[in-house]
Copies of this chain bind each other. A is one copy, B any other.
Amino acid sequence: MGKTSYTITVCSDSVGETAEAVVRAAIRQFEAPQVKIKRHMNVRNEEELRQVMEEAAESGGFVAYTLVQPELRAAIKEQAIHLNVRIVDVMGPMIQAFVDTFADEPKRLPGLLHRLDADYFQRVEAVEFAVKCDDGKDLNAILKADIVLLGVSRTSKTPLSVFLAHKGKKVVNYPVVPEIQPPEHLYGISPGKIIGLTMNAEHLLKIRSERLKAMGLPLLARYASLDRIVEELEYARTLFDRLGCPVIDVTDKAIEETAGIVMDLIP
């Protein structure tokens, strides 16, 4: 890498989440560069836009933008030429494809103005549901859930629940422990709603050991012994068989990937 740090400017007439997500995905394609993302949100007129572009011209780098209002879209192209700043239109090609393919016209309203819709509130409620029902805290919630995740400790139940909640799904997760009877409610719902999570035993041993270290606890605990882990995983496997639910092996899978598989199984 030639430089030690890069600056990428994100400019949006809404929040800029989409543009920043694409920037972050692109950054992952390069060797650990020190990239500073400067986000300007709610840019709503040409004067504000001019300030963003002048700042970007000074800091170097390029500007990724999501602007939907035609006058701002025209203005950023002018400013880019004028100030010699490279710009990337994150949403434009997608919106154009939509228009061309479906012969529809865009509303051209910044995201925020129509973001607080039913879908938005459903997602917020789903996140609250996931948090309140984490780790078996509310057994009755199993009956209200779209998805029930089961797995032994450290099989990514919590982050997976929250990630799925962001997609609007009501998720509960319940820990599987050989010494504790699984809740009766599990047998009262459709097995199609239940997902079992499993993991390679050695991998789980590593994760649990790191967990104990991070908590400052001795590694000798039974929790982080291979015998105990194999016992737990076998008990979980028997439970999953009895419930007749699909099982996902999350070893080496990112939360996003596991979530994709869950969404395919329970659309």
Residues of A within 8 A of B (CB): 1-3, 6, 15-18, 21-23, 25-31, 33, 39, 41-42, 60-62, 64, 66, 68, 86, 88-91, 93-95, 97-98, 100-109, 111-112, 114-116, 120, 124, 127-128, 130-132, 134, 156, 158-159, 162, 165-166, 252, 254-257, 260
Which chain B residues lie closer than 8 Å to A254 at the CB level?
15, 112, 115-116, 120
Known: A15-B257, A29-B68. A86 touches B107 (CB 8 A): no
Bound: A156/B3 CA distance, A:
41
Docked pose: A174 CA to B91 CA in angstroms: 37
A91–B3 contact, CB under 8 A?
Answer: no
Task: Indicate if the CB atoms of B30 and A98 lie closer than 8 Å.
Answer: yes
Partner of A22, one of B91, B116, B127, B257: B91
A41 to B28, CA, bound (A): 18
- Chain B residue with Cβ nearest A264: B39
A109 touches B2 (CB 8 A): no
29 A-B residue pairs with CB within 8 Å = A6-B102, A15-B256, A15-B257, A17-B25, A18-B25, A21-B21, A22-B94, A23-B94, A25-B66, A25-B94, A28-B111, A30-B102, A30-B105, A33-B102, A41-B257, A61-B101, A61-B102, A62-B97, A62-B98, A86-B97, A86-B100, A88-B94, A115-B254, A120-B254, A124-B255, A130-B131, A131-B158, A131-B162, A132-B134
Which of A100, A109, A112 is most buried by chain B, counting CB atoms within 10 A of its CB?
A112
Contacts of A6 in B (CB 8 A): 101-102
Query: Which one of B17, B127, B159 lies within 8 Å of A159 (CB-CB)?
Result: B127
A104: chain B residues at CB < 8 Å are 1-2, 30-31, 33
Are A15 and B260 in touch, CB under 8 angstroms? Answer: yes
Question: Do A62 and B101 form a contact, CB below 8 Å, given A124-B159, A127-B158, A252-B116?
Answer: yes
**How close is A254's CB to chain B, nearest CB, in angstroms?**
5
> Closest chain B residue to A254 by CB distance?
B115
Contacts of A30 on B, CB cut-off 8 Å?
98, 102, 104-107
A259 to chain B, nearest CB (A): 8
- Please name the residue on chain B nearest to A17 by beta carbon: B256
Asked if B97 and A28 make an inter-chain contact with CB atoms under 8 angstroms apart, the answer reads: no
